[in-house]
Amino acid sequence: MARKPRINEPGFYHIVNRGVNKSEIFIEKEDFHKFLELMLKIKNDYNITFHSFTILPTHYHILIETHKDNLSEAMRLLNSAYAAWYNFKSGRVGHLWKGRFDSYMLFDEEHFWNVIKYIERNALALNLVDDITKWDYQSLALRVKKTKFFEIINDSKILTKPLNEYIKWLNKPLSEIEIAEIYKEPKIVMVDGEIKVVRKKLPEFFEEFKDKKEAIKAAKANGYKYSEIARFLGISNAYVSKLAKS
């Protein structure tokens, strides 16, 4: 499968990376604290807003907002600096991460808050704690305990929600439909050698255009493939193509 184009433009991104072979890469308190120090460094050096995060023994989730075309550069520094420190500390050699980080651009405000909840609930979902406020290495903990790393989230949108309401909201699990949408992102296509981000979801074309043929044509013009449209409509590729050309 071809690797999707790497988007670097300013915006909101859900970032994930894991240890090689799913190994534990955050074990001792100093490991977590070193990663938090590096997060604070890239926040200040690259003008990045950290809205939410959780650092788990084998991987991390981060929801960030970039304000410049520097996502790849900032995340490369975060991952490589931690790997170099961890390998030196533990006397290990070789790759620490499974590969380059995974990034998922967000659709909209609703998607943003669903990803926030997904991230904040991760330790609870993995049974690392039985109380969502008890995992020390996530954005919620920084807000609750006001540790020295609070500056990482001092401009996060999670602070717009009163703390008690925020915790109550987090304790309500995501629905299966909401979970299924977490790793979806805007359509990313190449047009004349340039990357184009299509923020309009496929169903929205069929809500906007009552004529199915017009909706298909609009979706195709915006980068959706006939095969994707066919799966959505539950009909064959050939019939979609016929409708679009009729």
Range(s) of the domain holding residue 23: 11-181
Share of the chain above pLDDT 70, in %: 98
- How many of the other CB atoms lie within 10 Å of CB of 3? 6
- How many of the other CB atoms lie within 10 Å of CB of 137? 22
3-state secondary structure of 236: coil
State the chain's mean pLDDT as an integer: 92
Q: Is 232 exposed, middle or buried (0-12, 13-18, 19+ CB in 10 A)?
A: middle
Average pLDDT over residues 34-57: 98
- Residue 91, pLDDT above cutoff 60: yes
Last residue of a domain, one of 125, 150, 181: 181
Question: Within this chain, do residues 175 and 225 fall inside the same structural domain, yes or no?
Answer: no
Contact present, 185 and 202 (Cβ < 8 Å): no
- Residue 192, pLDDT above cutoff 80: no
What is the reported pTM?
Answer: 0.87
Contact present, 193 and 166 (Cβ < 8 Å): no
193 falls within a domain: no
Question: Within this chain, do residues 36 and 125 fall inside the same structural domain, yes or no?
Answer: yes
* Cα–Cα separations (whole angstroms), residue 141 to 56, 115, 188, 212: 13, 17, 34, 49
Specify the number of domains making up the chain: 2
**What does the pLDDT read at residue 4?**
62
User: Which residue, chain included where needed, has tokens 């926030």?
Assistant: 116
3-state secondary structure of 244: helix
Which is more confident, 98 or 242? 98
Question: Within this chain, do residues 177 and 206 fall inside the same structural domain, yes or no?
Answer: no
Question: Within this chain, do residues 173 and 204 fall inside the same structural domain, yes or no?
Answer: no
6 falls within a domain: no
Enumerate residues 6+ apart whose C-beta is below 8 A from 148.
none
pLDDT-derived band at 3 (thresholds 50, 70, 90) equals low
Last residue of a domain, one of 181, 215, 234: 181
Average pLDDT over residues 58-74: 96
5 falls within a domain: no
- Residue 1, pLDDT above cutoff 50: no
pLDDT-derived band at 112 (thresholds 50, 70, 90) equals very high
Average pLDDT over residues 19-25: 94
Question: Within this chain, do residues 15 and 67 fall inside the same structural domain, yes or no?
Answer: yes
Tokens standing for residue 148:
């020295």
Enumerate residues 6+ apart whose C-beta is below 8 A from 75.
15, 42, 101, 103
43 falls within a domain: yes
For residue 59, the cross-strand partners are 18
State the CATH number of the domain containing residue 173. 3.30.70.1290
194 falls within a domain: no
* Cα–Cα separations (whole angstroms), residue 222 to 127, 153, 218: 42, 36, 6
- Residue 143, pLDDT above cutoff 50: yes
- Residue 110, pLDDT above cutoff 70: yes
Contact present, 50 and 156 (Cβ < 8 Å): yes
| Inter-residue long-range contacts of 215-222, CB under 8 Å, 24+ positions, other chains counted | 216/240, 216/243, 216/244, 217/244, 220/244, 222/187, 222/198
Contact present, 214 and 208 (Cβ < 8 Å): no
